[in-house]
Amino acid sequence: MVGDVLNIIERCLAGDGEAWKLFVKNFTPMGKNILLNSFDLKHVEHDDIIQNVFVKLVNGGLGNFQGTSKYEFLKYFKVIVTNEAKTYINSENKIRQTIRLNDGLSQRAQTDGQDGLTLMDTLQDPDKNSRPDFVMEDRDLLEKVAGIMMTYPLLDQEIFLMKVKGYKDEDIKVMLKIPMGTIASKYSRMRTRIIEEFIKMQ
C-alpha cells in the first residue's frame, strides 16, 4: 500500500470511504511504531494519539500535504504523529499538575485547621480572589477540569481522580468493585474531553 500512498490520498480526498479504511488500516501500525520508538507511553495512550492523528488528517491534514513522493508523505506523517504525541503529553501533564494543585490546597487548608477542599469545592466558590494562594491561570484550569468532571457520573469522577493520582487499574477494580474494561473506558472518555478543552485554550 505504501507504494500507492499518493493514489490512496487522492482517493481519500475525493471522498472514497474504502480508500480511507485502507489508509487507516496501513498507517495505524506505522503510527504506533513511531510512538513506540520515540515515547514512553502506554498502549491505550497510543490508541488515543493515533485517533487524534487521523482526525487531524481528515480535518485538512491530507489536503495540506504538498509533497510529491511517498517518502515525503511518510516524513510528513511522522511529524504529525510526533506533534500530536507532544500535545497529548503536555495536556496530560497539565491535567496532573491541576489535580496536584488541588491536593496542595487541600493539604494547606487541613494544616490551618480548616476542612480540606476538594476539586468540586473550588468550582463552588464564586469569588476567585478569596484564596490568594491561587494563581489565576491555575485556578481557571482547575475550574475548567472541575466543570467538565461535574458533567459525568460520580463513579466516572472517582475513577478519573484515582487514575490521575497514580492508582493502578487492579487496585481501582478491587476498591470500586467494577470491571477493568469499565475503568479504562470511563477514564479514557473523560481524559479525552479534558484534553480537548486544554487544546482549545492553547
pLDDT per residue over 10-54, tens digit each?
999 999 999 999 999 999 999 999 999 988 887 777 888 888 899
Helix, coil or strand: residue 40? coil
Report the range out of 96-100, 133-137, 142-146, 149-153 with the highest average pLDDT. 149-153
Whether residue 11 is found in the same domain as residue 78: yes
Among residues 79, 95, 111, the one where a domain terminates is 95
Residue at 116 is within a domain: no
Q: How many domains does the chain have?
A: 2
Whether residue 82 is found in the same domain as residue 139: no
Residue at 196 is within a domain: yes
* pTM recorded for the entire structure: 0.53
What is the CATH classification number for the domain harbouring 138? 1.10.10
Whether residue 90 is found in the same domain as residue 133: no
Residue at 103 is within a domain: no
Whether residue 91 is found in the same domain as residue 132: no
How many Å apart are CA 79 and CA 56, to the nearest integer? Answer: 12
Residue at 20 is within a domain: yes
- Give the domain extent around 54: 5-95
How many Å apart are CA 20 and CA 58, to the nearest integer? Answer: 9
Cell triple for residue 77?
A: 506523517
Residue at 109 is within a domain: no
Whether residue 69 is found in the same domain as residue 146: no
Residue 93 has pLDDT above 80, yes or no: no
Which tops the pLDDT comparison, 154 or 137? Answer: 154
Please say whether the beta carbons of 101 and 130 come within 8 A. no
Mean pLDDT of the chain: 76
- What proportion of the chain, given as a percentage, has pLDDT over 90? 22
Whether residue 11 is found in the same domain as residue 89: yes
Residue 104 has pLDDT above 90, yes or no: no
Sign of CA dihedral 158, 163, 166, 168: positive
Calculate mean pLDDT across residues 173-196: 84
